[in-house]
Structure 1
């Protein structure tokens, strides 16, 4: 059974999401180690959501409750956020609805800015991290791979990708009212990750040319060389931000990298003529990269993720409707495929039983001097006879009646399904046999 514990901009406060963004990589291993009935866990953590996808051993009593408990305790252990603090700020998605939810998330339909592209990469990286940590499972692998396939299909088939804008571009659109000429702007970018690269592209699209980059981790020179920017060494950081018209931060640092003290220090060093009449600071980090005290720096406006979220535009209705229909179709196919897989052990066990009987009869025919004619006829007959039960088993599975298939095979043929169905063949192999 699949379940998802999700806290997002729709259910949780910005402050809570900020706390859930610290050490998300520690959560999945704790969930996976909670109980042997937990089959796997993958965590998706972005600036506007925290989600734990968990596969449970369904026969376990109250498997869903155990999975939620494992997730909440893991969050408390890794992030220090107690279950009581989370109460009312998260939703639980269970069973068939999990695929629909993740497919919508991966496609940008649940983002602050509908259709934004960054989330697709974040979903892919979540699976990669789970693989590296050894916490994924067969069903979670299938779920996340299908999510990426669905996202690519929606991007190619609808206008959602073209209509959607990233948080970076939305922030710059909000800054337009404060900027008369982007080409004259002195910009300092703090950060060197994927968001920083997206920010550089968005700034250049607007005509910004004077862009310098700083990095708390010391990677500014490499990033600057790659993107044709000017690096800001740590020794000149305060002076650079104090002299900038626009400062954009987008690092993964767990603590603020910019404070009022930096501006005060820079103002004392820089030439007074170099200081801007008014500056804008855009904080795209979560946890926040900019200390609250920056809002009190004279002649400085602070735009953070919480403010950006409040000004997010309405959905592009037509594109969104088309995309949601594709998500629903993809989720339905995922569920049907899973149901077909669920009866595979019973079908394989039945085929193994018939195969054993068939080989016994063929051996007898050979002992009587059969020239191969009888053997050929028996194999053809067995294939024909098995075709209808195989098709019918898959049809019943798709109707949610997989248990009926197992019961029938056991009652009619006295077959121990678990014993005879090892190893399990792939569904396509079973369907194509005979």
Structure 2
């Protein structure tokens, strides 16, 4: 059995490319379509990754086709943005991802919760079996140790709070700004809390589920508004932050143009941290509108990394130790099983080469 990871992230693909592969597949569909005995799909605003276990080699193209609804005829289309890790390299990559070292905002904690949620979905559906169970449980342990034994998270910020940093650069004081947050998921909640912590007092929250919008508004000290009124809010708000799971743009130039006529040279700052994007990129060409998507946040995030360079080194050392121990423990387990069943494994180092 070989464990592998095939995916693309902010390191290899821009948001326009990533959104083509986000939201179309499930772990169960990958098991079914790619013939992979075990699979787990990890999708965030910055990455789409498939972790799998299989006796046969599953090609990158096979996984890429499972991830997109749009058929691509060019056989070389998938190669450039996708990366592939197998065996020990896959283990190392997952441990780095879960610990926040591979994130756009190094040290952020959101990715660990997202990985746990992806694991639970795959486990409950039956797509994740014993191999991925052991791998991901160890990854969660590693992430916890990195957080408790290093200062990697000190001064670290979430994607949401980086977005708020960007807003503060534009407006200076945020206390006088009217803000609308569209979406009530984890990313929206973190962003809303970051806004309140920076002095925002007029925070409006909306979501397709009004109950969830009310819940989030109460939790952060904002107020909920009906979902059907969010577009008209653009007549008066200063900052619009959106993070939904919509597969098509919610805000376009056609929808926004009539609303801007009432703004009287009042700029509108939009931060779109959704993947696929909630706001059509052409909106950025409109007079008085400043649109930033998830890729635009990269430069702000990279500045915060400089403050934690030494902690990254310490975290990498912890991960390296766990990778070696995990691979060795699996190898010992397989050898023990072979002795009990009188079926010896083919070679002392077979785990590192092909059995992981």
Q: Deviations over 1:373-432 (max 9, x none)?
A: xxxxxxxxxxxxxxxxxxxx99x99x62689xxxxxxxxxxxxxxxxxxxxxxxxxxxxx
Q: Hey, what's the Cα distance between the residues in 2 that align with 1:117 and 1:13?
A: 22
Q: Which of 215, 239, 251 matches 1:258?
A: 251
Go from structure 1 to structure 2 and tell me whether the alpha carbon gap of 1:40 and 1:113 turns closer, same or farther (over 3 Å shift): same
Q: CA deviation at 1:262?
A: 3.7
Q: Hey, what's the Cα distance between the residues in 2 that align with 1:149 and 1:402?
A: 22
Quote the residue 1:415 is aligned against.
none
Q: Which of 150, 159, 163 matches 1:158?
A: 150
Q: Hey, what's the Cα distance between the residues in 2 that align with 1:172 and 1:102?
A: 28
Q: Hey, what's the Cα distance between the residues in 2 that align with 1:31 and 1:24?
A: 7
Tell me the C-alpha RMSD between the 2 structures: 2.6
User: Is it true that 1:305 corresponds to 2:294 in the alignment?
Assistant: yes
* SS of equivalent to 2:175: helix
Q: Unaligned 5+ residue runs, structure 1?
A: 58-62, 351-392, 404-434
Which is richer in helix?
Answer: 1
Counterparts of residues 256-295 of structure 1 (less than 5 Å)? 256-267=249-260, 277-295=266-284
Counterparts of residues 35-434 of structure 1 (less than 5 Å)? 38-57=36-55, 63-64=56-57, 66=58, 68=60, 70-76=62-68, 78=69, 80=71, 84-218=76-210, 219-267=212-260, 277-314=266-303, 315=305, 316-349=308-341, 400=349
Quote the residue 1:361 is aligned against.
none
Q: CA deviation at 1:311?
A: 4.2
Go from structure 1 to structure 2 and tell me whether the alpha carbon gap of 1:8 and 1:234 turns closer, same or farther (over 3 Å shift): closer
Q: Deviations over 1:204-242 (max 9, x none)?
A: 111111100122454433432443321221343222122
Whether contact under 8 Å (2:270, 2:289) holds in the other structure is yes
Aligned residues: 345
Q: Hey, what's the Cα distance between the residues in 1 that align with 2:137 and 2:323?
A: 12
* SS of equivalent to 2:43: strand
* SS of equivalent to 1:145: helix
* SS of equivalent to 1:211: strand
Q: Unaligned 5+ residue runs, structure 2?
A: none
Q: Hey, what's the Cα distance between the residues in 1 that align with 2:20 and 2:164?
A: 26
Whether contact under 8 Å (1:238, 1:265) holds in the other structure is no
Quote the residue 1:373 is aligned against.
none
Whether contact under 8 Å (1:2, 1:56) holds in the other structure is yes
Whether contact under 8 Å (1:239, 1:265) holds in the other structure is no
Please, what TM-score do these two structures have when normalized by structure 2? 0.88
Larger radius of gyration: 1
Q: Deviations over 1:252-301 (max 9, x none)?
A: 11111223344334456x6x6xx672221111111011122321332221
Higher normalized contact order (CA 8 Å, seq sep 6+, divided by chain length): 2
Go from structure 1 to structure 2 and tell me whether the alpha carbon gap of 1:73 and 1:300 turns closer, same or farther (over 3 Å shift): closer
Whether contact under 8 Å (1:56, 1:67) holds in the other structure is no
